[in-house]
Chain A
Amino acid sequence: MANIRAVQKALDALGIGKLEARPWRRSVVLEGRVRTWQDYIRAGYAAAGKGFKGVVNDIEVEGLEREREYIPPVRDNTLEGKQFDVIVIGGGVIGCAIARELTRWQLRVAVLEKEDDVAKQTSSRNNGMIHPGIAPARGTKKLHYNILGNRMYTQAARELGFALERCGSLILLEKSWYRLLAPLAKQQALQKGVDGVILLSRREVFRREPYATPAQRGGVLLPSAGVVAPYDVTVAFAENAVENGAQVFLHTMVQGFAMEHDRIARVLTNRGRIRAKVVVNAAGVWADKVAGWANDRFFTIHGRKGTIAILDKKTRAYQSGVLAMPRLGSKAHTKGGGINPTVEGNLLMGPNAVEVPWREDWSTGPEDMEFLLSRHLPLNTRLRPGDIITYFAGVRACTFEEDFVVEPSEYVANLVHAAGIQSPGLAAAPAIARDVAEMAVKLLSGVMEVRPNPRFNPVRRPNPRLTDLSLEERALLIRSNPAYGRIVCRCEAVSEGEIVAAVKSPVPALSVDAVKRRVRAGMGRCQGGFCTPAVLDILARETGVPPTRVVKGRPGSELVLAPTKEPGEGSADA
């Protein structure tokens, strides 16, 4: 039962100023003014769990600088008047997975992504965990989609040709009396549908993970946990969607909707106004803003930043699976993080969780690294700070209800939300995509006949990756195309052929970072010191632009600014 008085009481109890709660449809809207972002967050959580569908937190924060949201510097009319059956807003893992599911039907599908590539925001800025599903509470969408999604990954990996490693997750127990709770946890996990739970004694933990912290007093092993490269997964979904007829439009930002009664008539973008029968909101950290354009903003997204450190590949030998040691007493949404392997053979450390007012601020700070070093590094006694080769941050798209929003809009006839997707969103993606596609098809059935796509091919033929090949296969490939014979990135042993293939792929890699996400050139220990100049020349050659126009990522991120000498008039006497 929604209880507005309970919300007001909880707000008043915070003692952070005069705040007001009012009901709106089935949600609650918070208004007022607070001094700090932390207060804003506290107010949002105080209103959650009081029986409302969502918390819309419109409280102002004094003196808070407005976020400089990235807007692609492109203005043209290339999409003006185009018509699609489904427009998916957002080219993250959720949007791309949805697009691929939609291509099972004969539909005109478009993915609109404002960034210069797919998987640019949260989908490439996470640790690649395919969670076992032990963390979400029962009865949540998170749990439902996590459990299903985890199971679906085996088939998705096989069909789409991305690497999945079911390395298992080992939750270390900090105090011996936790072991009394362990059987209870096991029972709970089984009730939740987690596929496999094994309790380990301290000795059994050491047998599995010889370098685990001596502070552990046993552990809970979840064998169904796995890891993927999240950008690989997103690109795989996107490419298979394109192979099956979908279109991906980059640098294309949705800036509003033209509504007709309860329908979105047109999607307004920086590249023209587009007609769509159904719109899917998979806009990640901006999903609430997109909902707002359809007057359906019944939740607010707040960004929770996580910083992750990448460790040198030599550390992979020191750990077999995921290691974590949650602290009792920490809130459910802050306890995450640990050390996990990657499918490429590194270890990752983190993430931490920090509430931030800016949703696209991926900067890292010394305090984040100090946290990782003090909290996570000791989980494995072999690791040293010097093993860190780099680190990055991502921002989780959280709602105050801390659950996914996966549903057709209650008020807009042709809108489906896939919003508030944060951890375990990557693990949940295939299951969310299947449901959202079904929701979209159901809505479409009212206005058109939807037939299965007879040419749908779930199998993607990924570009060859030298490091996955046997020496014989490698030799064959080089003989068929000598460009595979020239290694460009020495740390990750990536060839020119692989880079060229990435540039020519269904969702082409057109920047140095996009190449890095596709083939790992520049991801190794030297962090692109040796290969960036070579990748720059290959990109210039393959895309036919001068080197001064080759970018690291977004427009404006040109790598070199000019030739060193303007072309001379005279020539040498030579």
Chain B
Amino acid sequence: MRKDWDVIVIGAGPAGLAAAAAACDAGAGVCLVERESRPGGILKQCIHDGFGLVRYGEKLTGPEYAWRDIEAVRRRNIPIWTETFLLELQRAGDGFVLTMQNREQAVFQLTARALVAATGCRERTARQIFIHGQRPAGIYTAGTVQHMINIQGYLPGRRCVILGSGDIGLIMARRLVLEGARVEGVYEIKPEPSGLTRNLVQCLQDYNIPLHLSTTVTRVLGRERVEGVVVCPADENLRPLPDRGRIVPCDTLVLSVGLIPENDILEPLGVELNPRTGGPVVDQRLAANVPGLFSCGNALHVNDLVDYVSESGEIAGRAAAAYALGRTQPPNHAELVPEGDILYAVPGRLDLAAGGKAVVYLRANRTIGNARLTISAGDKTVLRKRYPVLRPPEMERIVLDLADLPAGAGAVKLSLRGEENG
């Protein structure tokens, strides 16, 4: 059993699989660590289609998309430690020591020069959005419902209310209906839906599932099992108006109210996190502030398309390999400063020494029309782009050539300005 690796990738979801393949192609010795029994990450349960349009030019289901990545890793003979749980992550010398456990090896350690954290994200829960009442059975996050239906073959409820119009919520609405449950409605506290238009049409309209905007769930009724929920209209500041609440009978409340990148395992390393994204602050190589640590996928920031997750995995895997093999220069960082209508942008800094092209992902903080994006350093504008419309659920991707930046640029400004309700 090989103990010393150039690169270890934590998490064998789409980001990790892509990172491992890229690191291998760049000449690094790489292995994957995965806590579940099969690789593929959350894609295993995302049985709907629509994945891969950007990367493969075709519409794949989640398992099909994952399968391509798994096959790519298998062809390269990259080992995957499945059902293996990372207990401790420590720096040692100029590398890392990973202490892990699984059934076969009990407790064992691997070392790596570079680490790619591809740990994905978790779902926000009912209590975290302050839904009150008792705690009966039948309150689930959309991902849990998805696992129960698509992996285990269990129907969690017969009469469901869905809170949150994020894509998983919309997709689970359709999935529940297809499996014989009734969906009373999808409730969204914001005045506009969070999910992709495609899903609004094909998951809700196709099945006559009502969408209630500016409405939220404030209370769960029932003692042993959910018996209903109280739904309330919300004002423009997203505050529920309790006087106008009404009861919707149901046996299940499904929550699709946001995702939180999981980086808890990295905290002992002293990783710097971006409070906006919940992921590490990285440069265009997706290198975090801890030397040799790289981040990608939904652990870096929550993506809307898996294609971008894979792309970030490739970038991180390649960069981790270069680092591990001693092919990188000491970094020369310039901050990438978002301005105007930007909710967040990744990366947060640019390594001018590394050069090359930087893939920048960004989200608008509101729906805007006729939006103008400019990237400038000092007096020099290096990129201009226009968008007819930008919505927060949809991530934008731009490519910036660092060669266009003036030498010695201290900070690079990323500015987005648009018109309301474009």
Contact = CB atoms under 8 A, between A and B. Distances in A.
- Indicate, yes or no, whether A interacts with B: yes
B147 A390 contact: no
Interface in B146-169: 147-149, 151-158
A553 B140 CA distance: 15
Contacts of A559: 137-138, 156
Interface stretch (A16-24, A146-154, A434-442, A521-529): A521-529
Interface stretch (A278-286, A404-412, A482-490): A482-490
Interface residues of B, number: 48
A560 B122 CA distance: 21
B125 A526 contact: yes
B224 A486 contact: no
A293 B102 CA distance: 56
B64 interface: no
Nearest to A551: B137
Contacts of A555: 224
Contacts of A374: none
Q: Which among B99, B101, B128, B133 has the greatest number of chain A C-beta atoms within 10 A?
A: B101
A366 B132 contact: yes
A557 B152 contact: no
B37 to A, nearest CB: 8
Nearest to A555: B224
Interface string B87-122: 100000000000101111011000000000000001
A471 B122 contact: no
Interface stretch (A198-206, A417-425, A472-480): A472-480
Contact of B102 (A68, A362, A485, A532): A485
Interface residues of A, number: 56
Contacts of A472: 107
Contacts of B132: 363-366, 369
A533 B140 CA distance: 11
B101 A478 contact: yes
Given A559-B137, A563-B155, A527 B125 contact: yes
Contacts of B396: none
Contacts of A547: 152, 154
Contacts of B59: none
Interface string B195-212: 000000000000000000
B2 interface: no
B102 A561 contact: no
Nearest to A392: B135
A555 B87 CA distance: 36
A388 interface: yes
A492 B149 CA distance: 25
B327 interface: no
B130 A553 contact: no
A570 interface: no
Q: Which among A314, A536, A551, A560 has the greatest number of chain B C-beta atoms within 10 A?
A: A560
Q: Dominant SS at the B interface?
A: mixed
B224 A553 contact: yes
Contact of B103 (A369, A485, A528, A564): A485
Contacts of B149: 564
Interface string A522-554: 000111111011001100000000011001111
B127 A565 contact: no
Contacts of B188: none
B243 to A, nearest CB: 14
A403 to B, nearest CB: 30
A258 B96 CA distance: 70
B302 to A, nearest CB: 15
A493 interface: yes
A37 interface: no
A369 B152 CA distance: 36
A488 to B, nearest CB: 10
A265 interface: no
Contact of A364 (B107, B133, B148): B133
A312 to B, nearest CB: 9
A531 to B, nearest CB: 10
B101 A560 contact: no
B408 to A, nearest CB: 38
A61 interface: no
Nearest to B153: A564
B365 interface: no
Interface in A184-228: none
A475 to B, nearest CB: 4
Contacts of A471: 87, 99, 107
Contacts of B152: 533, 536-537, 547
A483 B225 CA distance: 31
B83 A486 contact: yes
Interface of B: 35, 83, 85, 87, 99, 101-104, 106-107, 122-123, 125, 127-128, 130, 132-138, 140-141, 143-144, 147-149, 151-158, 179-180, 218, 223-225, 251, 264, 267
Given A388-B127, A529-B143, 16 more contacts: A361-B134, A363-B134, A474-B106, A474-B107, A476-B106, A478-B101, A487-B35, A493-B85, A529-B123, A529-B144, A533-B144, A533-B148, A533-B154, A552-B137, A557-B225, A560-B148
Interchain residue pairs A-B with the least CB separation, the first 8: A485-B103, A556-B224, A552-B137, A560-B154, A487-B85, A475-B107, A482-B103, A478-B106
20 contacts: A314-B264, A362-B134, A365-B132, A369-B132, A478-B107, A479-B106, A485-B102, A526-B123, A533-B144, A547-B152, A547-B154, A552-B136, A554-B223, A554-B224, A556-B225, A557-B137, A557-B225, A563-B153, A564-B153, A564-B154
Interface of A: 68, 70, 314, 361-366, 369, 388-392, 471-472, 474-476, 478-479, 482-483, 485-487, 490, 493, 525-530, 532-533, 536-537, 547-548, 551-565
